[in-house]
């Protein structure tokens, strides 16, 4: 797999909503390339017939009753660290032009 | 080094319950030791107000003749990625600086219900990303045995705090070795339970498929008691599993006939000679005590780190997407649009390692690379799990070093993230396969502690703690 170029890093940064400085772009291009080269060893493993593991203890679809649960917190408790609040809702900047 | 060797936790609690010890004095003592040992920078914040208030309540309840609980008045320190009342919860990150928990984590609630008292929040690599605490956005914790060396990470503040005698126990989290590695580097006991045995509710998420909560203590018996209080299913964490009966009752275990497999891949080339000597000496002692020692091979183990450094950043990039400057934590005030607010808040709020992991994770999950990286790693994970299952058909326990070397110098790996990742090479496999693992002190090499790692099959936490208790006795 190819080395990561500056353009690749900029594309990833845009996807991850990060603004990187020029120095960071250069640094991450080198470091991510080295890390990806290291993990390339996974390509040579014989994995014939094996399926991916997503959950290690074998649990599937853990359900609970669809009822209201009172955890004892008010919206105000949960929103007290929120930068901007209006009527117990998180307030953000305009999304649609 | 330690100014105080705390009594066994069960004895402290019994002392408080019978009135010989006062919770308020224990809290004051812990806070005073934290203050005396400030140069090690193990602690981000203390919680004197809430701790003193809780101690006074406990002393009052004892005076009235009430039963307080199995951890009555026992001070402890929580890694700063646990939501705890009485101080900020920052995960040692600038983006969460100033954040106050609106509720407490289940682990803390259970400890408090038995009378334990949180006195401080310990330093960590920001968001638990690291093996040395050097990635903390605030400060680097120093190793209690040598101030020029790292304590290991990411629960480095918790491990150093316990070894420095700041409290009888501390809480950590272990996603790829973050309890066991600092335990090994600092000379503490570090316990990583079976995945799902302790609720993760109220703990800042790192990689959700491998994150576990566990104790750092002076002894195995202390770790077993703390685990016993925290273990069990929690409606707030749907990945939690059913607990076994008591973990705290560690009847004397006879090693005779116990089948222990030495992991060949961990004893291979690249292992520091001083560490090798200590592990071989320990193995010899276990053999003399009657254990049946064999060599076991898990050929996929050396690939564990590569699997981990695909899966962990993938999950990190997902879990850290919630830090967007809108919900809680740091936000910029000069953004003109929502998207600019996301970008600026994240870019200014996250440190270097968090950004690095977000970038790797975004790459391995992105369209066109998902199959080659993420899915491939999940498949190799299956192979690793199968090898563990096979090994545990031959032996009851697996044994090896916790880390390939002792603690390294502060700054030694600072410019090479891959080299830093390699310190986790012997710990990540337990996380990927969900099995319980413990690091117990096994002598020193050139003055620095060596950790012996023991693993058991999933859900055999009790058996693992019993054997670790016996091993601890034998290694003295």
Write the CATH number for B172.
Answer: 3.90.1300.10
pLDDT at B49: 98
Question: How many Å lie between the alpha carbon of B55 and the closest alpha carbon of chain A?
Answer: 24
Give one DSSP letter per residue of B394-451, joined into a string: H-SEEEEESSSSSPPBTTTTTT-HHHHHGGGTTTHHHHHHT--EEEEEEEEETTEEEE
Closest CA to B250 of B4, B9, B2, B418: B9
Identify which of A28, A59, A93 has the shortest CB distance to residue B338: A93
State the Cα torsion B87-B163-B114-A69 to the nearest 10°: 50
Query: Which of B121-130, B364-373, B395-404 has the lowest average pLDDT?
Result: B364-373
**In terms of Cα–Cα distance, which of B427, B433, B400, B407 is closest to B268?**
B400
Number of separate domains in chain B: 1
Interface contact A42-B303, CB threshold 8 A: yes
d(Cα B356, Cα B475) in Å, to the nearest integer? Answer: 41
pLDDT tens by residue, B268-318: 988 999 999 999 999 999 999 999 999 999 999 999 999 999 999 999 999
Calculate how close chain B gets to A70, using CA atoms only, in Å.
12
Chain A residues whose beta carbon lies within 8 Å of the beta carbon of residue B235 = 64, 69
List B154, B158, B341, B345, catalytic entry: B154
Number of Cβ within a 10 Å radius of residue B368: 7
For residue B263, the surrounding DSSP H or E stretch is strand B259-263
Q: How many CB pairs under 8 A join A and B?
A: 161
Q: Using CB atoms and an 8 Å cut-off, which of residues 282-301 of chain B contact chain A? A: 300
What local confidence, expressed as pLDDT, does residue A1 receive?
56
pLDDT > 80? residue A82: yes
Q: Which chain A residues are closer than 8 Å to B362 by Cβ?
A: 12, 15-16
Range of the domain at B268: 1-476
φ, ψ of residue B435 in degrees (nearest 5) = -80, 155
Active site residue B79: yes
B182 to chain A nearest CA, in Å? 24
Q: Report the pLDDT value the prediction gives residue B252, as an integer from 0 to 100.
A: 78
Query: Is residue B336 annotated as part of the catalytic site, yes or no?
Result: no
- Answer yes or no: B383 catalytic: no
Which pLDDT score is estimated for B269? 84
The whole-number average pLDDT for the span B253-257 is 90
Express each pLDDT in B127-163 by its tens digit. 999 999 999 999 999 999 999 999 999 999 999 999 9
Residue of A nearest to B350 (CA): A18
Task: State the pLDDT at residue A2.
Answer: 66
Q: Where are the domains of chain A?
A: 6-44
* Residue whose C-alpha is closest to residue B324's, from B315, B334, B336, B332: B332
Can you give the pLDDT at residue B282? 97
pTM beyond 0.80, yes or no = yes
Q: Which residue from A minimizes the CA distance to B315? A: A54
pLDDT in tens, B55-68: 999 999 999 999 99
- Taking contacts as CB-CB distances below 8 angstroms, the residues of chain A near B360 are 32, 35-36
Of B460, B473, B472, the closest CA to residue B396 belongs to B460
DSSP-H helix ranges across A16-72: 22-39
Give the architecture-level CATH label for domain A6-44.
Orthogonal Bundle (1.10)
Place of tokens 């790292």: B150
What are the tens digits of pLDDT across the range B215-250?
Answer: 999 999 999 999 999 999 999 999 999 998 899 999
Instruction: Please report the pLDDT score of residue B1 as a whole number.
Output: 67
Q: What is the ipTM of this complex?
A: 0.96
């Amino acid at each position: 797999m190819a080395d990561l170029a500056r353009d690749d890093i900029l594309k990833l940064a845009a996807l991850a909503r990060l603004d990187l400085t020029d120095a960071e772009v250069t640094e991450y291009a080198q470091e991510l390339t080295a890390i990806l080269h290291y993990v390339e060893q996974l390509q040579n493993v014989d994995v014939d017939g094996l399926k991916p593991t997503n959950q290690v203890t074998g649990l599937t679809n853990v359900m609970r009753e669809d009822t209201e649960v009172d955890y004892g917190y008010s919206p105000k408790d949960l929103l007290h660290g929120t930068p901007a609040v209006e009527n117990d809702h998180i307030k953000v900047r305009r999304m649609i032009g | 080094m330690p100014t105080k060797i705390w009594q066994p936790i069960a004895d402290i609690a019994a002392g408080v319950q019978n009135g010989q010890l006062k919770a308020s004095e224990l809290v004051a003592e812990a806070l005073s030791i934290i203050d005396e040992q400030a140069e090690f920078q193990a602690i981000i914040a203390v919680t004197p107000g809430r701790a003193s208030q809780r101690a006074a309540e406990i002393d009052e309840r004892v005076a009235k003749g009430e039963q307080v609980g199995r951890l009555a008045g026992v001070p402890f320190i929580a890694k700063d990625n646990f939501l705890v009342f009485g101080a900020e919860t920052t995960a040692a990150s600038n983006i969460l600086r100033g954040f106050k928990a609106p509720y407490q984590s289940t682990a803390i609630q259970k400890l408090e219900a038995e009378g334990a008292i949180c006195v401080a929040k310990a330093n960590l690599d920001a968001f638990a990303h690291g093996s040395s605490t050097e990635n903390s956005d605030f400060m680097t914790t120093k190793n209690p045995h040598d101030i020029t060396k790292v304590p290991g990470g990411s629960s480095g503040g918790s491990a150093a705090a316990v070894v420095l005698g700041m409290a009888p126990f501390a809480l950590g989290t272990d996603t790829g070795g973050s309890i066991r590695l600092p335990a090994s580097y600092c000379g503490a006991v570090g316990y990583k339970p079976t995945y799902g045995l302790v609720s993760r509710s109220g703990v800042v998420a790192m990689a959700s498929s491998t994150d576990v909560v566990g104790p750092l203590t002076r002894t195995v018996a202390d770790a077993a008691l703390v685990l016993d209080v925290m273990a069990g299913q929690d409606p707030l964490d749907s990945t939690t599993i059913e607990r076994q009966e008591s973990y705290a009752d560690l009847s004397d275990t006879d090693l005779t006939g116990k089948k222990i497999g030495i992991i060949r891949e961990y004893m291979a080339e690249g292992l520091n000679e001083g560490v090798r000597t200590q592990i071989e000496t320990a193995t010899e002692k276990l053999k003399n005590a009657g254990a049946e020692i064999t060599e076991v091979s898990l050929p996929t183990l050396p690939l564990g780190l590569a699997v981990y450094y695909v899966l962990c950043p993938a999950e990190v990039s997902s879990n850290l997407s919630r830090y967007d400057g809108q919900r809680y934590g740091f936000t910029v005030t000069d953004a003109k649009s929502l998207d600019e607010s996301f970008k600026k808040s994240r870019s200014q709020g996250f440190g270097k390692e968090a950004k690095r992991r977000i970038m790797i994770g975004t790459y391995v999950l992105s369209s066109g690379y998902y199959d080659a990286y993420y899915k491939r790693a999940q498949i190799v994970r299956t192979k690793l799990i199968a090898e563990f299952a096979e090994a545990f058909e031959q032996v009851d326990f697996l044994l090896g070093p916790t880390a390939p070397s002792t603690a390294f110098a502060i700054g030694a790996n600072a410019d090479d993230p891959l080299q830093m990742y390699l310190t986790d090479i012997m710990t990540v496999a337990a996380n990927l396969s969900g099995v319980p693992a413990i690091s117990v002190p096994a002598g020193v090499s050139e003055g620095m502690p060596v950790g012996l790692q023991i693993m058991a099959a999933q859900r055999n936490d009790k058996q693992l703690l019993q054997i670790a208790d016996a091993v601890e006795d034998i290694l003295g």
